[in-house]
């Protein structure tokens, strides 16, 4: 898979970003969108971005990269492509319909990939005449800057494509990890408690948003607190992923969405992009000050950390990914200070289990049930969860 022609479906921020990555890696790239205005915006934005990269000495010639990018509003422009990456709205029926149309245009050997962050690759593949050529390639936003790519085979995917995809992503300068086709894959599954448990603590009145954000950044070492990050991502994206994962896991209470975030979405308070979310970003508005009580902050941090570790351990137990790929995904995909399995080892498996069991005994809710793997390691007095192998 060397320097083949790449097709991108969708000219939004993610589609254009993936197109930029492929073009900078030396590929000819066809960016398709049925919205001509969106195509023009993407072309102008990419031209400006590439020019800045040239001025900074990051690329030798912006013109050369831009020359490899073709912007098309006719799907037949994909006829010579050898790999198509879809990056459109997160709606399963829309993606299935688009893949069905694309398959009529491309060659029998063209690989079809979805950039979905949480939808079933198997369901998308099932809409195709040749489901064995369909897989997931989940980039993270912004695609040119974020290193991680989740490689997700459907149950129908030709296994030879996994190796090819990982090699190609490495050629593009990305860090590929292999994920099982389960809701949220690695990152959007394991990271859910970072948001949901923070909201739960806020809704219970234990701490306000600013204090929770402070605890996770100052004590936990995260680059952004959960409320700041949700506002940055946008609630039209973050909440929808949470809801999708919740539904896809047959309404498992571990992934239950919150009314607090849903109301923001309903109000159109999407975060930074709309000027209002959990926080007010309007001109002249000031962000609230946190309560910097270290003891209270430590309790908040450890509660959320225990939930994150439990999710990572359970993903390991259920073979969603290897221990190494789980650690890579969380450090490269969402910039966590360290891998959660390593964090578990450093904090102590017993401490993590005590935290979870205390929460479960207090609430009697299944969202706080400890992973069987965590409990097994404690009973076996095995100190290193990160060395787990079956």
Let me know whether 249 and 166 are in one domain.
Answer: no
Mean pLDDT of the region 66-71: 97
Domain presence at residue 10: yes
Task: Report yes or no: 82 and 111 within 8 Å, Cβ to Cβ.
Answer: yes
**Is residue 56 domain-shared with residue 137, that is, in the same domain?**
yes
Quickly list DSSP for 326-365: HHHHHHHTS--SS-HHHHHHHH-HHHHHHHHHHHHHHH--
- Taking CB atoms within 8 Å and a gap of at least 24, the contacts of 73-76 are 73/32, 73/33, 73/34, 73/35, 73/36, 73/39, 74/32, 75/32, 75/34, 75/101, 75/102, 75/105, 76/105
- pLDDT band of 140, cuts 50, 70, 90: very high
117 catalytic? Reply is yes
Shortest CA distance to 245 belongs to which of 306, 199, 311? 311
Q: Residues 224, 293: one domain?
A: yes
| pLDDT of 1 higher than 50 | no
Contact predicate 11/40, CB 8 Å? no
Tell me which of 11, 38, 114, 117 is the catalytic residue. 117
Position 389 scores a pLDDT of 61
For residues 169 and 196, state if they share a domain.
Answer: no
- Tally of domains in the chain: 2
The answer on 163 and 204 residing in a single domain is: no
**335 is a catalytic site residue:** no
Q: Which of 86, 103, 150, 327 is catalytic?
A: 150
State whether 27 and 71 are in the same domain. yes
Residue 1 maps to a domain: no
What is the widest separation between alpha-carbon atoms in the chain? 62
pLDDT digits (tens, 9 = 90+) for 95-116: 999 999 999 999 999 999 999 9
Residue 298 has pLDDT above 90, yes or no: yes
pTM of the model: 0.95
203: CATH: 1.10.1040.50
pLDDT for position 293: 97
Q: Are residues 128 and 243 in the same domain?
A: no
pLDDT of residue 310 exceeding 60, the answer is yes
Which residues lie below 8 Å from residue 43, measured CB to CB, with a gap of 6+? 69, 71
Mean pLDDT of 251-255: 96
For this structure, is 235 an active site residue? no
User: Residue 329: its pLDDT value, please?
Assistant: 98
Task: Verify that 192 and 337 share a domain, yes or no.
Answer: yes
Is 93 designated active site? no
Q: Which domain holds residue 64?
A: 6-181
Q: Report pLDDT digits (tens) over 20-44.
A: 999 999 999 999 999 999 999 999 9
Pull the structure tokens for residue 39.
Answer: 């195509």
- The domain that contains 58 carries what CATH number? 3.40.50.720
Name the active-site residue from 27, 138, 235, 377. 138
Encode pLDDT of 195-217 as tens digits: 999 999 999 999 999 999 999 99
- The single residue of 118, 120, 188, 371 carrying the catalytic annotation is 188
Residue 105 sits in the same domain as residue 214: no
Q: What is the mean pLDDT of the chain?
A: 96
Q: What is the mean pLDDT of the segment spanning 333-341? A: 96
Same domain assignment for residues 258 and 139: no
Residue 55: is its pLDDT beyond 80?
Answer: yes
d(CA 81, CA 245): 32
Of 162, 181, 200, the residue that ends a domain is 181
- In this structure, the answer to whether residues 201 and 346 fall within a common structural domain is yes
Q: Residue 384: pLDDT band by 50, 70, 90 thresholds?
A: confident
């Amino acid at each position: 898979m060397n320097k083949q022609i790449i097709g991108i479906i969708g000219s939004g921020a993610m589609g254009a970003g993936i197109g930029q990555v492929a073009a900078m890696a030396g590929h000819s790239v066809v960016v398709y969108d049925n919205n001509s205005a969106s195509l023009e915006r993407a072309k102008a934005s990419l031209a400006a971005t590439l020019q800045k990269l040239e001025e900074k000495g990051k690329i030798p010639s912006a013109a050369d990269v831009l020359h490899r990018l073709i912007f098309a509003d006719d799907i037949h422009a994909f006829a010579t492509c050898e790999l198509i990456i879809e990056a459109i709205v997160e709606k399963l029926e829309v993606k299935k319909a688009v893949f069905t149309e694309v398959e009529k245009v491309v060659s029998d050997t063209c690989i079809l990939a979805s950039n979905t962050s949480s939808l079933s690759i198997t369901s998308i593949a099932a809409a195709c005449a040749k489901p064995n050529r369909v897989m997931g390639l989940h980039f993270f936003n912004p695609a040119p800057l974020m290193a991680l790519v989740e490689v997700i085979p459907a149950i129908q995917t030709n296994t030879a494509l996994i190796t090819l995809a990982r090699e190609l992503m490495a050629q593009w300068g990305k860090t590929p990890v292999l994920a099982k086709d389960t809701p949220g894959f690695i990152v959007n599954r394991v990271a859910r408690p970072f948001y949901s448990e923070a909201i739960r603590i806020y809704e219970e009145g234990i701490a306000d948003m600013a204090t929770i954000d402070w605890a996770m950044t100052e004590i936990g070492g995260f680059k952004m607190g959960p409320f700041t990050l949700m506002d940055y991502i946008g609630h039209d994206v973050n909440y929808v992923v949470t809801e999708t994962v919740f539904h896809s896991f047959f309404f498992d209470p571990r992934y239950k969405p919150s009314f607090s975030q849903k109301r923001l979405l309903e109000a159109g308070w999407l975060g930074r992009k709309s000027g209002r979310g959990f926080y007010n970003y309007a001109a002249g508005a000031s962000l609230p000050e946190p309560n910097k009580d270290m003891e209270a902050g430590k309790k908040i941090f450890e509660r959320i950390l225990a939930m994150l570790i439990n999710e990572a351990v359970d993903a390991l137990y259920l073979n969603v990914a290897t221990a190494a790929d789980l650690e890579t995904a969380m450090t490269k995909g969402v910039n966590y200070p360290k891998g959660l399995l390593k964090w578990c080892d450093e904090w102590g498996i017993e401490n993590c289990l005590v935290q979870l069991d205390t929460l479960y005994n207090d609430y009697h809710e299944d969202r706080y049930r400890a992973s069987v793997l965590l409990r097994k390691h404690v009973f076996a007095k095995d100190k290193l969860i990160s060395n787990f192998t079956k």
